[in-house]
Amino acid sequence: MSAGSLIRAARESVEGLPRAFWWLWASTLVNRLGAFVATFMALYLTLERGYSASFAGLVAALHGLGGVVSSLAAGVMTDRLGRRPTMLAANLATAGSVALLGFMEHPAAIAAVAMLVGMASNASRPAVAAMLADIVPPEDRVRAFALNYWAINLGFAVSAVAAGFVAEYSYLAGFLGEAALTLVCAVLVYVKLPESRPAAEAGAGDGAAGAEAAGPGVSLGTVLRDGRFMGVVGLSFLVSMVFMQGSVGLPVAMGAAGFTPGEYGLVISVNGLMIVLLQIPVTRFIEHRDPRRLLVLSALLAGWGFALTAFAGPLWAYAMTVAVWTLAEIVNSPTQMELVVRLSPVQGRGRYQGMYTMSWSVAALVAPLMAGYVVDGFGAAWLWGSAGALGTLAAGGYWLLMRRLPARGTAAAESAAVPVKAAPVQAAAAAADA
């Protein structure tokens, strides 16, 4: 492919999206550039503070529990107060709690503040996803979610390297640096992002569930009674349990096999590198394809990509297994996010996104416990076999659950996709782009 073709493909991947989306994208990138706590908390507690690995695991679990607690509450806030206030409050709370965590010394205080950090840092996710759905046309949402996911991984990749050097100088500087970048994110949200919550009169939804549950009366009960959507949440939990093993099961298994932390870091870097390089071109390929087949394929690739780890011996073989399940991640993330929007009523996007976010938060809490129990009690091979079984189960679930779902882009799928009354931010974005 010529340089001109590459430039043209890159331009086509980003053109046509509203200006408000790019400010939202920029805020996501800035936020992830400061991801210090999630990356270095275990090393900080064990190496800097001298606590045991068990205590570090407890703190990580409490951090995950904070995300579980805040997901639903943030979803309700997103619908009631608006996307912008929720993101602003979440970023300010994250900045304050991260800075505070850097000064905590007592174990109980560290554990409590770590849980607060987990609550605050996860609270913006339903609002970000709901705002993206508000401001981006249905036909561009897969591409927009993919670009946002790309920003998350690009920011994380850069921050992991930079924060490593910062940690060698001062862990406190890392905490304060994350707090400062989170404050920059809050400023971007406050200055550049208008509110996008649809007007109360907008009763239409993006799909069958939206048609049944739309309107200002959407509650958490509505979400729980939406059988197909809750099925998607359950399947998301299974897939999340599989993907989480890249950061919880894989390092434990590689350590038991005699590999060093540096060698694990080299292997897992394949994940970030592939996402940065392939997320946009792969999304261009899958953007208008049947989401049912994409989700089935990605679940199988995820499960059996991890299952292949049981047969990995040399370092390059571990890297190859990471490449397989990373491809699944690249396909799964934007496809599933777009499906969640299609199944959500416009007036309940925050609550639906909060429930979906909770599936990942619960997986982040359960996956480390599952990995430790299986590896200690039965061996790593059983963990990888379990991952293959979970991926296969999720693939079958997607196939059964989505048999009657209209293919993306059909009239049935998109007939109710646009609110009756445009959200304020859509009008603002249109005026800004004019």
For 229, phi then psi, to 5°, come to -65, -40
| Domain residue extents for the chain | 19-197, 201-407
What is the pLDDT at residue 206?
Answer: 46
Statement: 201-407 belongs to CATH 3.40.50.300:
no
Residue 13 confidence class, pLDDT cut points 50, 70, 90: low
What is the pLDDT at residue 380?
Answer: 85
> Residues 114, 62: contact at Cβ < 8 Å?
yes
Which SS3 state, helix, strand or coil, does residue 205 take? strand
Statement: 19-197 belongs to CATH 1.20.1250.20:
yes
Q: Given 3-state DSSP classes, what are the helix, strand and coil percentages for the chain, each rounded to the nearest 5?
A: 80, 0, 20
- Token pair for residue 55? 């205590």
For 16, phi then psi, to 5°, come to 85, -5
Q: Which amino acid, residue 361?
A: S
Alpha-carbon gap, residue 383 to 380, rounded angstroms: 5
User: Does residue 351 register a pLDDT over 60?
Assistant: yes
For 184, half-sphere exposure in the C-beta direction (CA atoms, 13 angstrom radius) is 16
Radius of gyration of the chain (CA): 21
Q: Which pTM value belongs to this model?
A: 0.76
Compute, in degrees rounded to 10, the torsion defined by CA atoms 367, 372, 377, 383. 50
User: Does residue 413 register a pLDDT over 80?
Assistant: no
> Residues 283, 146: contact at Cβ < 8 Å?
yes
What is the pLDDT at residue 214?
Answer: 38
What is the pLDDT at residue 215?
Answer: 42
Alpha-carbon gap, residue 207 to 414, rounded angstroms: 7
Alpha-carbon gap, residue 402 to 293, rounded angstroms: 10
When mean pLDDT is compared across 126-130, 165-169, 195-199, 328-332, the lowest value belongs to 165-169
Alpha-carbon gap, residue 304 to 294, rounded angstroms: 15
Residue 419 confidence class, pLDDT cut points 50, 70, 90: very low
Is 201-407 in the same CATH topology as 19-197? Answer: yes
> Residues 340, 232: contact at Cβ < 8 Å?
yes
Picking from 324, 342, 327, the residue whose alpha carbon sits closest to that of residue 283 is 327
Tens-digit pLDDT profile for residues 224-263: 888 889 999 999 999 999 998 887 788 878 877 888 777 8
Which SS3 state, helix, strand or coil, does residue 82 take? coil
Residue with tokens 């840092």: 121
Tens-digit pLDDT profile for residues 178-228: 899 899 999 988 888 888 888 754 444 444 344 333 345 677 888 888 888
> Residues 146, 106: contact at Cβ < 8 Å?
no
- Residue 24 sits at the vertex; the CA angle it makes with 20 and 29, to the nearest 5 degrees, is 145
